């Protein structure tokens, strides 16, 4: 039996480059030379697909890169990085496009979306996954084999961004962060070297790639350990949004078996048919529950949550893990404001502040999101990966979603003020939730000794800080 399955989840658009507009005359010759070296394509302003390819997911950013390079392999990335350096161009690296860092107004976008190969080895329970793939694509492919690797709550987030930052999702308590399942990576460094990195080969780089963000090279593919998932129960449990309910839920989620992870948000109830109409638009506690194990054990683990208060809706049931991904409309490009903090506890007073803050937002959609951590994530020593805030128990995020990017300052303020109201023992944040924060908040993403170590790795692999469009770690 062939244990190695290959998939190519392709996007086979085949537009040719068209003539450059005026802004390109100065570099036209160089671009022609670059095109002759590439297996992939160069898309420049004026090309019929330019607007599609330059777009990123958050509507906050409308940037016009000098060129988007749809790379076909690691050699294309190496050539593109050299080209950028030789011509003094800024470099943005795009995987799923869920951050504002993957576009630029003055340089190149290295677009990884054609690196979409997934090789699943059922015998060794491992997979090599290209960084052009999304979380949803990998989840759906591996779960067909009763296997899983955890990413986040959104299918369209790219494997490049989520994994370099850490990856906090519905399996965080059972299997840890996404990086805790990474066994190896292929990476192109800023000087154009193509390296295979793991615990033995370039261990410093392997350490930094797991949580240090996109600072240290361009990952072309990850090797993941896959976990058995013979049975799964999940879905939304909607409870009344009161301080008692929110704090009780959080306490129970900490005590629950590790099979159970949850992402729970105080938010206006969507006008969904499963929620009684009188609650539509009113604040509710919308809890996405995930239990990675048999249905009976799931029922037992969920019983205390169902008993907190009479649920307004309860759709938690056995099914596929990928059913947890909510539908997305790629045509919709809302703007986001996010501010987040990793915390040690969340009491009833804090829960009340979260509810009041969400009630006070003018954004069409606003959330006070709570993720209870611990379990497998907390057992990995904090020096083992660049994601070092391992002992954090809870992550709280204020998220505003709105149509007009011109409102960003108002909603950024709202989110930041909400976080400032919560306990301040120490400002700790998950690097991938630094979306609209000021650049200096990178200091909250890493303990001082971790940041120092990252800076040394940066100096070794990208001393000129070519890869700086990210949550930037500057070279030591």
- Closest to ligand FAD by CB, 158 or 293: 158
| Residue 421: Cβ within 10 Å count | 14
- Closest to ligand FAD by CB, 211 or 418: 211
Q: How far apart are CB 19 and ligand FAD at their closest, in Å? A: 28
Q: Tokens representing 337?
A: 């404001």
**Residue among 154, 163, 165 nearest 183 (CA):** 163
- Closest to ligand FAD by CB, 308 or 442: 442
Coil, helix or strand at residue 364: coil
CB 116 within 8 A of CB 11: yes
- Closest to ligand FAD by CB, 20 or 287: 287
- Closest to ligand FAD by CB, 20 or 133: 133
Q: How far apart are CB 296 and ligand FAD at their closest, in Å? A: 28
- Closest to ligand FAD by CB, 94 or 174: 94
- CA triple 162-42-405, angle to 5 deg: 50
- CA gap 142, 137 in Å, rounded: 9
CB 212 within 8 A of CB 164: yes
- Closest to ligand FAD by CB, 312 or 386: 386
**Residue among 288, 250, 330 nearest 170 (CA):** 288
| Residue 405: Cβ within 10 Å count | 16
Instruction: Find how far residue 182's CA is from the centre of its chain.
Output: 15
Q: How far apart are CB 233 and ligand FAD at their closest, in Å? A: 19
Q: How far apart are CB 170 and ligand FAD at their closest, in Å? A: 8
Give me the residues that bind ligand FAD (CB under 6 A), please. Answer: 56-57, 93-99, 101-102, 112, 131, 152-154, 157-158, 160-162, 164-165, 167-169, 214, 218-219, 336, 432, 469-470
Burial of 224 (0-12, 13-18, 19+ CB in 10 A): buried
HSE of 197, CA atoms in CB hemisphere, 13 A: 26
CB 213 within 8 A of CB 221: no
Instruction: Find how far residue 235's CA is from the centre of its chain.
Output: 20
Q: How far apart are CB 326 and ligand FAD at their closest, in Å? A: 10
Q: How far apart are CB 441 and ligand FAD at their closest, in Å? A: 15
Q: How far apart are CB 53 and ligand FAD at their closest, in Å? A: 12
């Amino acid at each position: 039996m062939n244990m190695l399955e290959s998939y190519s989840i392709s996007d086979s658009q085949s537009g040719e480059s068209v003539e450059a507009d005026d802004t390109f005359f100065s570099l036209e010759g160089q671009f022609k030379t670059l095109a002759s070296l590439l297996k992939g394509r160069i898309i420049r302003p004026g090309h019929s697909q330019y607007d599609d390819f330059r777009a990123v997911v958050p509507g906050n950013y409308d940037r016009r890169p000098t060129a988007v390079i749809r790379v076909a392999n690691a050699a294309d990335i190496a050539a593109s990085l050299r080209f950028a350096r030789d011509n003094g161009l800024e470099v943005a690296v795009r995987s799923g496009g869920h951050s504002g860092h993957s576009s630029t107004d003055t340089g190149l976008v290295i677009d990884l979306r054609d690196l979409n190969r997934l090789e699943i080895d059922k015998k060794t329970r491992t997979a090599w996954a290209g960084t052009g793939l999304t979380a949803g694509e990998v989840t759906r492919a591996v779960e067909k084999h009763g296997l899983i690797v955890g990413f986040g709550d959104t299918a369209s987030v790219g494997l490049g961004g989520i994994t370099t930052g850490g990856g906090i999702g519905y399996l965080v308590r059972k299997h840890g962060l996404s990086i805790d399942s990474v066994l190896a990576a292929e990476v192109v460094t800023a000087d154009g070297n193509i390296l295979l990195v793991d615990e033995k080969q370039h261990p410093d780089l392997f350490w930094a790639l797991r949580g240090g963000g996109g600072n240290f090279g361009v990952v072309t593919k990850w090797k993941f350990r896959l976990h058995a998932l013979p049975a799964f129960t999940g879905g939304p449990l909607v409870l009344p949004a009161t301080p008692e309910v929110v704090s009780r839920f959080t306490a129970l989620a900490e005590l629950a078996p590790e099979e159970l992870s949850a992402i729970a948000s105080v938010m206006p109830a969507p006008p969904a048919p499963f929620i009684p109409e009188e609650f539509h638009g009113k604040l509710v506690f919308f809890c996405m529950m995930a239990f990675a194990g048999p249905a009976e054990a799931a029922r037992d683990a969920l019983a205390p949550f169902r008993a907190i208060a009479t649920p307004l809706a309860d759709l938690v049931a056995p099914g596929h893990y990928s059913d947890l991904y909510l539908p997305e409309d790629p045509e919709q490009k809302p703007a986001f404001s996010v501010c987040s903090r990793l915390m040690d506890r969340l009491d009833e007073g804090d829960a009340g502040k979260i509810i009041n803050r969400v009630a006070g937002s003018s954004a069409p959609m606003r959330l006070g999101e709570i993720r209870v951590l611990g379990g497998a994530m907390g057992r990995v020593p904090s020096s083992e990966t660049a994601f070092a805030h391992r002992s954090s128990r809870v992550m709280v995020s204020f998220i505003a979603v709105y149509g007009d990017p011109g409102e960003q300052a108002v909603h950024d303020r709202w989110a930041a003020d909400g976080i400032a109201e919560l306990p301040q023992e120490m400002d700790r944040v998950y690097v991938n939730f630094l979306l609209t924060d000021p650049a200096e908040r990178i200091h909250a993403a890493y303990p001082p000794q971790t940041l120092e170590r990252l800076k040394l790795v940066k100096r070794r692999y990208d001393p000129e800080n070519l890869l700086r469009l990210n949550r930037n770690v500057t070279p030591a």
